[in-house]
């Protein structure tokens, strides 16, 4: 098992500590908001690993409005929308060699609250509301490019879909990216992270994994709005990949 993470695992979990100790869990580090850092980690991973059976793109951010990535793009767009695409394309050579050949992108049902969407504003949004602004639109953009990319990946034998893990009690859900009125409710109504992890696992391995490219919410394929812009979103993230990452990744693409 391989983990590509920003921070290491906290000590004290016996299962994780044992897996790290005997090499069953191997960890690579990257700043997902910095393409140079991500490129270096992916290049190392491609050199040292032999296959990827299932890729879970689970990294994400939810912060206050106005934050920017190292590249100058809005931070939610960079980490929640762009980074999963960069990782997916970079790791295709290992996915080809894997057993399940499946990509699961962690999305959010917050995307269902988006009333207006313009793919041209993803890098520089004007609506900076917490949760319902750049975070929601970045997750919508993620699910849109997932839908658009699915037929192309299917031709290569790779499945891809996006999944909402549901509301979970995590540092992110209790952080600055949540509206103040919603934070107290997280302790009452949000589930433990294991519940969300189970939804992601079921989307990859369960009996009803959903249609290729679909958005799974509460175990069911859920229609997306603004699918007429899915091609534009895919073109935008692919241009970033071709311009900023492709030449820095070793191995066939």
Catalytic annotation, pick one of 139, 143, 162, 173: 139
In the chain, DSSP finds a helix count (H) and a strand count (E) of: 9, 7
- The half-sphere exposure of 106 on its side-chain side, counting CA atoms within 13 A, is 22
Residue 245: helix, strand or coil by DSSP? Answer: coil
Catalytic annotation, pick one of 33, 85, 135, 143: 135
Residues 6+ apart with CB under 8 A from 145: 81, 85, 230, 233, 234, 237
Angle between helices 35-48 and 230-244 in degrees, nearest 10: 80
Q: How many residues does the chain have?
A: 253
Catalytic annotation, pick one of 107, 138, 143, 162: 107
Examine the residue annotation and report whether 139 is marked as an active-site residue of this protein. yes
State the Cα–Cα distance between residues 84 and 212, nearest whole angstrom. Answer: 17
Examine the residue annotation and report whether 135 is marked as an active-site residue of this protein. yes
- The answer to whether 58 and 200 are in contact (CB under 8 A) is yes
Cβ-based neighbour number of residue 118 at 10 Å = 12
State the Cα–Cα distance between residues 138 and 78, nearest whole angstrom. Answer: 8
What is the H or E stretch that residue 217 is in?
Answer: strand 215-217
DSSP letters along 62-117, please? ---TT-B-TTSSBHHIIIIIIHHHHHHHHTHHHHHTSSS-EEEEE--GGGGG----
Active site members: 107, 135, 139
């Amino acid at each position: 098992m391989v983990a590509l993470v920003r921070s290491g695992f906290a000590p004290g979990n016996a299962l994780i500590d044992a897996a790290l100790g005997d090499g069953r869990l191997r960890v690579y580090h990257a700043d997902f908001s910095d393409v140079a850092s991500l490129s270096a980690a992916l290049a190392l991973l491609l050199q040292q690993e032999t296959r990827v059976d299932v890729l879970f793109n689970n990294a994400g951010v939810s912060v206050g409005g106005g934050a920017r990535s190292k590249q100058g793009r809005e931070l939610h767009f960079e980490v929640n929308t762009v980074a999963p695409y960069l990782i997916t394309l970079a790791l295709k050579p290992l996915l080809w060699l894997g057993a399940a050949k499946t990509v699961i992108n962690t999305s959010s049902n917050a995307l269902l609250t988006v009333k207006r969407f313009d793919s041209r504003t993803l890098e520089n949004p004007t609506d900076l509301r917490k949760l319902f602004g750049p975070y929601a639109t970045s997750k919508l953009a993620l699910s849109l490019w997932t839908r658009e990319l699915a037929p192309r990946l299917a031709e290569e034998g790779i499945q891809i879909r996006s999944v909402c893990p549901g509301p979970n009690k995590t540092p992110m859900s209790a952080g600055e990216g949540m509206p103040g009125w919603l934070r107290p409710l997280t302790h009452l109504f949000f589930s433990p992270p294991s519940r969300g992890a189970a939804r992601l696992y079921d989307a990859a391995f369960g009996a009803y994994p959903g249609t290729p490219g679909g958005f799974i919410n509460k175990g069911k394929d859920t229609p997306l709005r603004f699918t007429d812009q899915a091609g534009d979103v895919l073109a935008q993230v692919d241009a970033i990949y071709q311009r900023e990452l492709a030449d820095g990744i070793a191995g066939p693409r």
